[in-house]
Amino acid sequence: MGKKTTKQVSGKARPPLGPIVRSWLVFYNAASAVGWAYVLFLFVRHLLYTLPSPTWYEGVYGAVKDPLKAFLPLSLILEVLHAATGLVPSGVVPTALQMSARVFMVWGVAHLVPKIQTTVYISLFVVPWCVAEVTRYPYYVTAVLGIKSEVLLWCRYTLFIVLYPLGMFGEALTMYAALGHIKEGGLHLAGIPLNLQGAFQYYYYFVLVLLLAWMPCWWPIYMHMFRQRKKALGKPSTKDE
Catalytic residues: 164, 171
Nearest distance, CB of residue 161 and ligand L7CU2Q4V, angstroms: 9
Decide: is 39 part of the binding site for ligand L7CU2Q4V (CB under 6 A): no
* DSSP symbols for 97-129: HHHHHHHIIIIIIITT-GGGTTSTHHHHHHHHH
Decide: is 5 part of the binding site for ligand L7CU2Q4V (CB under 6 A): no
Decide: is 100 part of the binding site for ligand L7CU2Q4V (CB under 6 A): yes
* Residue 146 CB contacts under 8 Å (≥ 6 apart), including other chains: none
Nearer Cβ to ligand L7CU2Q4V (94/114)? 94
Nearer Cβ to ligand L7CU2Q4V (35/167)? 167
**Looking only at residues 180 through 219 of this chain, which bind ligand L7CU2Q4V when binding is defined by CB under 6 A?**
210, 213-214, 217-218
Longest Cα–Cα distance in the chain: 66
DSSP label at residue 28: H
Pairing of β 192-193 and β 188-189: antiparallel
Nearest distance, CB of residue 7 and ligand L7CU2Q4V, angstroms: 8
Decide: is 25 part of the binding site for ligand L7CU2Q4V (CB under 6 A): yes
Decide: is 75 part of the binding site for ligand L7CU2Q4V (CB under 6 A): no
Residue nearest to ligand L7CU2Q4V (CB): 167
**213 alpha-carbon distance from chain centroid:** 17
Taking residues 116 to 145 in sequence order and writing x for each that binds ligand L7CU2Q4V by CB under 6 A, - otherwise, the string is ------------xx--x---x---x--xx-
Give the bridge partners for 193, in sequence order.
188
- Output the CA–CA distances (angstroms, integers) from residue 161 to 206, 221, 229, in the order listed: 29, 12, 10
* Residue 134 CB contacts under 8 Å (≥ 6 apart), including other chains: 33, 36, 37, 40
Q: How far apart are CA 189 and CA 39, in angstroms?
A: 24
Which residue type does 23 have? S
What does the binding site for ligand L7CU2Q4V look like in residue numbers (CB under 6 A)? 8-10, 25, 29, 82, 88-91, 94-95, 97-98, 100-102, 104, 128-129, 132, 136, 140, 143-144, 160, 163-164, 167-168, 171, 210, 213-214, 217-218, 221, 228
